[in-house]
Chains A and B, each alone.
Chain A
């Protein structure tokens, strides 16, 4: 047998780990009481276990929702469909929501993909870039005549997530070790971020607050936010309502210094 090049050896080893092709076995030394199949299997087992544990750690509530059998089926399907091309395991399961939305039996229950999506967004908020927060003190220092032209920027951890089911409520019930309500179709939008104490936090957004945040994301200033409010609720004190929103965003720690 001619000597196997390093390139071919690595290709055959990856083919074994990912696709179960055993060509590499003939190039492995057989000695001692452990045959080469068993030796290779140690690596195969470690490969599968490492990827499974990564998904378990990243998606604990999803795991509880699915139960052991479906979770195993999901892991097996995902590891086969999406062998890792990531440098870090942190990103290995990035495509899990997409996998769940497109493969049976999971795609028949869209809340499963939404649960995975929510858990990945929590991870993004957890280790997003740091940035100095906009504070009430900073706001007070800005002359009132400048307020209409103020444009606010969000902390890098801020995520806006739209769901079609009672996904977050289901996640919360599982987290508190309660049986979740049955999946219900209901459009809802959530805000996720890392707060001033560096803890990941989330809350639902009303239609009004969501529309304001959407305007901010497109670069609209404070005056334009007030105009939006005016168009929606003519009989309220718009400036007070706008101020309340602004102060709640500042206190939540979702805005940063310009």
Chain B
């Protein structure tokens, strides 16, 4: 397994050029969400990219071609696992059957880390298969923290949680999302996957300043950034992951870099999948923006 795969030359150049910038201990560089459409291209071309993120559920199967490709690609690149079914905020009991499968896959892939979302996906034994927002109050906070601790105990490692895009908020909320998120991380010991696009989408939908969100998150808890595209309908924005990263999100990414420094960053595309080369170009854009932003911020 390629646990200590060297990061590529562009990232190495970036690091050398940023002698004033603190490089986090677990900095992976700039990565991409691995999608089945690109399996063959990745194996044939071995693109110049630092790491891949895989959607855990896509490989919680017993065998077959996708899993064969996954293991072949794992031999070449570091990986992280990203799940969508943990449902950490659900009032249903934790799904230990799911967690056992997650652990089996983790043992197979030896990922750098495992992440999921700060949300709930179903309740009363029914599944919405969506990332539904929680109310941000003490009851939910206590509930989520207790479950994160159970999950981390089971997996034997801290997990990362990601902020979701949301389109509604509840009257029972008593604090902002970022206050809630911070408190979950502080109390449970989990780390933070900050989705820059999701902050932008939720800020537009709920009319808050996305910079307030960034400023409200504790610096040393953030371990990964997601960058993705959305669909803008004017009055509201939907997190569709089927477009390139939008300009306002690139701008917010710059602000995130200024606040949090060098963070492992990846491009997440889930629909309307373009050729691999297009996504690699977006990864390069993320890398260059980091170089320019952190260089400027240190001058």
User: By CB atoms of chain A within 10 A, which of B57, B125, B129, B206 has the most?
Assistant: B129
User: Do B85 and A87 have beta carbons less than 8 Å apart?
Assistant: yes
User: Do B168 and A39 have beta carbons less than 8 Å apart?
Assistant: yes
User: Do B91 and A88 have beta carbons less than 8 Å apart?
Assistant: no
Which of these, B66, B68, B97, B126, contacts A14 with CB under 8 Å?
B126
- Residues of chain B having any CB pair with chain A under 8 Å: 57, 60-68, 85, 89-91, 95, 97-98, 120, 122-130, 132, 134-135, 137, 139-140, 143, 167-173, 205-207, 235-236, 238
User: Do B95 and A43 have beta carbons less than 8 Å apart?
Assistant: no
A10 contact set on B, CB distance < 8 A? 90-91, 120, 123-124
A32 at the interface (CB under 8 A from B): yes
User: Do B85 and A88 have beta carbons less than 8 Å apart?
Assistant: yes
Question: When chains A and B are docked, how far (Å) is the Cα of A113 from the Cα of B68?
Answer: 32
Question: When chains A and B are docked, how far (Å) is the Cα of A196 from the Cα of B5?
Answer: 31
User: Do A27 and B235 have beta carbons less than 8 Å apart?
Assistant: no
A203 at the interface (CB under 8 A from B): no
A142 at the interface (CB under 8 A from B): no
Which A18-77 residues have C-beta < 8 A from chain B? 18, 27-29, 31-34, 36, 38-40, 42-43, 46-47, 50-51
A85 at the interface (CB under 8 A from B): yes
B130 contact set on A, CB distance < 8 A? 43, 46-47, 50
User: By CB atoms of chain A within 10 A, which of B62, B68, B90, B120 has the most?
Assistant: B62
A4 with B64: in contact, given A14-B123, A84-B127 (CB under 8 Å)?
Answer: no
User: Do B127 and A34 have beta carbons less than 8 Å apart?
Assistant: no
A98 at the interface (CB under 8 A from B): no
Chain A interface size band reads 35 or more
Please give me the residue from chain A that is nearest to B122 by CB atom. A14
User: Do A198 and B65 have beta carbons less than 8 Å apart?
Assistant: yes
User: Do B65 and A87 have beta carbons less than 8 Å apart?
Assistant: no
User: Do A128 and B205 have beta carbons less than 8 Å apart?
Assistant: no
Closest 6 CB pairs of A and B: A130-B63, A129-B62, A10-B123, A127-B61, A127-B64, A39-B168
Which A149-192 residues have C-beta < 8 A from chain B? 156-157
User: By CB atoms of chain B within 10 A, which of A32, A131, A194 has the most?
Assistant: A32
A90 at the interface (CB under 8 A from B): yes
- Residues of chain A having any CB pair with chain B under 8 Å: 1, 3-7, 9-11, 13-14, 17-18, 27-29, 31-34, 36, 38-40, 42-43, 46-47, 50-51, 83-90, 92, 126-131, 156-157, 194, 198-199
A27 with B172: in contact, given A10-B123, A50-B129, A87-B95 (CB under 8 Å)?
Answer: yes
B114: shortest Cβ distance to chain A, in Å?
Answer: 16
User: Do B62 and A87 have beta carbons less than 8 Å apart?
Assistant: no
User: Do A87 and B64 have beta carbons less than 8 Å apart?
Assistant: no
A28 with B170: in contact, given A11-B123, A46-B130, A84-B129 (CB under 8 Å)?
Answer: yes
A254: shortest Cβ distance to chain B, in Å?
Answer: 15
11 contacts across the A-B interface (CB closer than 8 A): A4-B172, A14-B122, A14-B126, A32-B205, A36-B168, A50-B130, A84-B126, A92-B129, A128-B63, A130-B62, A199-B65
Question: When chains A and B are docked, how far (Å) is the Cα of A42 from the Cα of B230?
Answer: 14
Which of these, A18, A28, A89, contacts B126 with CB under 8 Å?
A18
B205: shortest Cβ distance to chain A, in Å?
Answer: 7
B60 contact set on A, CB distance < 8 A? 88
A158: shortest Cβ distance to chain B, in Å?
Answer: 13
Which of these, B62, B139, B238, contacts A156 with CB under 8 Å?
B62
Please give me the residue from chain B that is nearest to A18 by CB atom. B126
Given contacts A9-B135, A10-B123, 8 further A-B contacts (CB under 8 A): A9-B170, A18-B126, A32-B235, A39-B168, A90-B57, A130-B62, A130-B63, A198-B65
User: Do B64 and A130 have beta carbons less than 8 Å apart?
Assistant: yes
Question: When chains A and B are docked, how far (Å) is the Cα of A92 from the Cα of B126?
Answer: 11
A6 with B135: in contact, given A29-B170, A39-B167, A88-B57 (CB under 8 Å)?
Answer: yes
A157 contact set on B, CB distance < 8 A? 63-64
B39: shortest Cβ distance to chain A, in Å?
Answer: 12
B65 contact set on A, CB distance < 8 A? 126, 194, 198-199
Question: When chains A and B are docked, how far (Å) is the Cα of A50 from the Cα of B129?
Answer: 8
User: By CB atoms of chain B within 10 A, which of A1, A47, A51 has the most?
Assistant: A47
Which of these, A6, A42, A87, contacts B127 with CB under 8 Å?
A87
